[in-house]
Every structure is written in C-alpha cells, then in structure tokens.
Structure 1
C-alpha cells in the first residue's frame, strides 16, 4: 500500500470521526439529527409492536422496517469502530455496549428458530429498548450531571443518615404512643418505622394510621418534614451542578479520537487526558 493511499485512508477515517463524534460541524449536526430521528422511529416501532392489534395487522411492515433500521444501526456501529484509534476500547465502553445491544436482538431472532423459543424472542424484542440509551450521545450535560451527583454524594449521605435516625426515633415513639391501640396497626417497632418511612416520603398508603391526638400530631410533623426530602438533596445537587457548569462554560465539545475525552479548551491542540493530537477542522 502506497503512502498516498495510506494518507487517503487516514483522511477518510478522520472525516468519519469528525462527522460521527463531533457536533460542531454541518455534517456532524446532520448526522446527529438523522440518528436521533432513526432512534425515535425504532422506539415507536417497538411500542406499536407490543400492541396486538397493530402487531397482527402490520406485522410484515414492522419486520421490514425493523430490518432496515437494524441495517442502519449496524452501519453506524461499524463506522464508529472504524473511525476511532482503538476499536476494542470503544466496543467495551458504555456507548459501545449500548450500540451492540441495539442491533444484536434482531440478528439473534433470525438465527434462533422454533416455536419453543417464543419467550426468548419476546425477551429479545424487549432488549431493543436499549436503543433509547443511544440518545445519551446527544446529551452534552450527561457528564456534568454525573459529576454533580458524585460531588454531592458526601453531603447527601449525611442527610440520609440524619433521616434514618429521625425515622428510627419517631417510629419508636409512634409505637409507644399507638401500640396500645390494636385498631391503629402499630403492632411493633419495625411496622412503626415502616409507617414513618411511608409518611416521610409522602407516599401515604393508608394501611396504617394513628388514632390518638398525640400520634396524629407526630404524624403531622413527619408530613411537614417529608418536604425536606425533596428540597435538601435538590439544593445540594443544584449547587454542585451550577459550579460545574460555570467551570465548563468556556470549554468546547472536541472529542479525542484516541480516548474519547470531551470538553477541551477552545485553543487546545492536544487532549488533556492522553496527549493525543486533536482534529483540526
């Protein structure tokens, strides 16, 4: 293979990588929008295929469309492997596994025959729902949200520990207050703690309820305290999320061809994780 052909092949690979993994070019945006439409169509098709009326009436049409969509997803998966520097790394990544799971069930249905495998087919059809996870390719904030959750987990864990202590104390108190009334349902401390958790999370099944005025007063306090379950963790995560967004607002979505790292500085020439040279438009 001549040097010219090698350079031509490498340029084609860089162009494919730019279109498939980047979204700051015209063809990159076009690819993302087209892929989004195909994913939505496949999910709608999966839902319609679960309705017996549509399934029996349009079975052949659904099968034809399914194979066509599977062909498109297969091409996308192969091109993703082709355009990256380390195909095995992408194949073992989260996105690579999702891409594979989105096309594998259709091929397995074709290979496995016999009515005894009917239930296996149904499981394979449901596995197609993994295609919806391919939508994470379009969510630029996915890493930001994941970082915010990890960064706030230390504070949230203390809050959860506080709630556990509150639940145990109030649950025990409710047993002491309501335990003498068989009609109330507070037969023991574990059941009282269960009631406290149900009330604190604002679920309120209604299978157990206090009868005495003191028990009803404690229940009212727990109901009001239940709103903090939503307010406090939300505030903690929002604070970390805001801090992360402010930190990344000046970064671009350049994707490293070698390791897949995103969010580099606008004037960056090399990946800040592995040092690989970034693509130049």
Structure 2
C-alpha cells in the first residue's frame, strides 16, 4: 500500500497522470507559482513598489520556497517507486543528479544559505537565482520538451556548426587585431577585445561602438559580415527541419498509441483502408 502511494505521488509530481484531476491541479498550481515568482521578481526591481508592498513580497517568496522545497523532498522520497531509481540510496542519488532535479535543487537551496543583505553582489545573486526558478517550467512545457528532442536529434550538426563559428571568430579577431591595432590601439588593444567586434560583425548586429577604419580592416569586416549571414542561417535551418521531424514522429506515435476508432465498425480511422467494404461506413 505504501509503495503504491509513493508511486502515485511520484507520477503526480512528474505530471504523468494527466487523466487524474488531482494531478492536473498540482501541475497547474506549480506552473502558476513558478510564473508568479518570476513576475514578482521583475516587479520587485521597481523600488517604489517593493518598498510599499515589501511585507507581501517577502511572505509570497517564503510561501513559494516552502512549496518548492516540499515538492523537491517529495520527488526525492518517492523516486524509489520507479524501477530505475529503486535502490534507497544509489537510486535517490541517481535521481538527484538528473538535470531537472538539479534545477529544482538550485531553485531552493540558496535561499537557505545566510547572505549579507548589505552586500550588493549578494543581493544581485539572490535575484538571479529567483529567475532560475523559471527553468522549472521545462518539466511541464511540451514546447521545451520538443525543443530538447530537436537538439538531441541535431546535436552533431549543431556542434559542427558551433565549431566552425568559433574557428571563424578566433581567426577574424586575430586578423582584425593585427590590422587595426596600430590605427586604433584603444579599440583593439588585444585579441580578446577584438572578439567583441568579431561577434557583433559575425551576427550582423553592428552596434557601431567598434569598427575598422583602415581599408584592409573594412574589407575584412565586409567579408566576415557576408559569411555571418550564411553561417548563422545553418542552425536555424537545422532546428526547423528537426522540429518538422520530431512533430511528425510524435503525431505518428500518438496515432499508434491512441488511434481514432470508428463508432460504427470499431476499426481505426487513421489507418488506410485496404478493403472496399471499409469505405461503406
């Protein structure tokens, strides 16, 4: 009985019992709490509003952290009901080291550490950690799950493209440094500083704060900008084709697992008919 209850708790928290009303309520409540925390962190940056409603903001933050902490502890406690994590020690440790569990821990653990509120860096870090709670939505968002599948499907091509971009960035930054350093020692003092120009040019953003003034530097900048237009279109095309493949595969999987049944003959509607009598109904 206890094992069955533990498994039920884990499936509810993992949002894998969508047909159960209580599971949907828990899922929607956690999503609402995550989004509300993110909005509260944004509004708290307005000093006038934060000072006027400081008590309410602090109370809501403590309530949210309590809920997220309870959620994390229940996940770790109930994960042993799954065969993959069934060992009481190593199974829980394996679950704790999963990416989503690490995100859940990061979202709550720093709030239990003492920090100096007078230190501006501590306050900024505290605010940044609150925004990390938004990553918890990855557990419930179907779009993020599909994006993860797409990245896994196209990871080799994306890594290859990233390698090309890094090679081109380092090469262009090194060349522009040697070309422009004497003419603009303050703008191109060293190669790492020249990489800022390389990134802005390669992405064709062009802020205009740093730009070449020598003829050779202008030619190099033009070539890099043209290469950037084509190079940055590659990841977009790879991800777009990956989305098409993943969505098509998911639709076919849903048709196999949950086929539409004709109420008259009891046969699957989504499957092509192979007999003339199948078309009569």
Q: Where does structure 1 lack aligned partners over 5 or more consecutive residues?
A: 1-6, 253-264, 268-281
Once the two structures are superposed, the pairs formed by residues 270-281 of structure 1 within 5 Å of their partners are: none
Map of 1:229 onto structure 2: 231
Matching residue within 54, 59, 65 for 2:54: 59
**CA displacement at 1:136 relative to structure 2:** 0.8
Task: Identify if the C-alpha distance between structure 1 residues 103 and 154 changes in structure 2 by more than 3 Å, giving closer, same or farther.
Answer: closer
Task: Give structure 2 stretches of 5+ with no counterpart.
Answer: 86-91, 259-281
* Equivalent pair of 2:200/2:206 in contact (CA under 8 Å): yes
Query: How far 1:230 moved relative to its partner?
Result: 2.5
For the 8 Å contact 1:23–1:32, the answer to whether it is kept is: no
| Contact in 1 for aligned 2:72/2:105 (Cα 8 Å) | yes
Q: Secondary structure at the match of 1:249?
A: helix
> What's 2:118 paired with?
118
Give the secondary-structure state (helix, strand or coil) at the position aligned to 2:232: helix
- Please give the per-residue CA displacement for 1:91-148, whole angstroms capped at 9, x wherever unaligned: 3322222222323333335xx7xxx563386234542222111111112344543343
- Look up the SS of the partner of 2:142 in the other structure: coil
Q: Report the count of equivalent residues.
A: 240
Equivalent residue, structure 2, for 1:10 = 3
CA RMSD, aligned part only? 4.1
**Partner SS, residue 15 of structure 1:** helix
Name the SS for the 2:30 alignment partner.
helix
Compared with structure 1, are the counterparts of its residues 217 and 90 closer, same or farther at alpha carbon in structure 2 (3 Å cutoff)?
A: closer
Native 8 Å contact 1:43 1:129 kept in 2 = yes
Q: Does 1:70 align with 2:65?
A: yes
Superposition deviation, residue 35 in structure 1:
0.8
How many angstroms apart in 1 are the aligned matches of 2:187 and 2:53? Answer: 55
Q: Which has the bigger relative contact order, CA under 8 A and spacing at least 6?
A: 1
Q: Which residue of 2 aligns with 1:47?
A: 42
For 2:257, the equivalent position in structure 1 comes to 266
Instruction: Tell me how far apart the structure 2 counterparts of residues 57 and 169 of structure 1 sit (CA, whole Å).
Output: 52
Distance in 2 (CA, whole Å) between partners of 1:117 and 1:166 is 40
Q: CA deviation at 1:78?
A: 2.6
Q: Structure 1 149/15 Cα, relative in aligned 2: closer, same or farther at 3 Å? A: closer
TM-score norm. by structure 1 comes to 0.65
Q: Which residue of 2 aligns with 1:20?
A: 13
Q: Distance in 2 between matches of 1:226 and 1:190?
A: 19
The structural deviation recorded for 1:188 is 11
**Whole-Å separation in 2 of the counterparts to 1:135 and 1:84:** 19
| 1:79 Cα offset (Å) | 2.4
How far apart are residue 76 of structure 1 and its match? Answer: 1.8
Q: Does the CA-based 8 Å contact 2:172-2:198 persist in structure 1?
A: no
Contact 2:17/2:23 (8 A) holds in 1 = yes
The residue aligned with 1:275 is none
- Whether the 8 Å CA contact 1:201–1:229 is kept in 2: the answer is no
User: Does 2:98 match 1:104?
Assistant: no
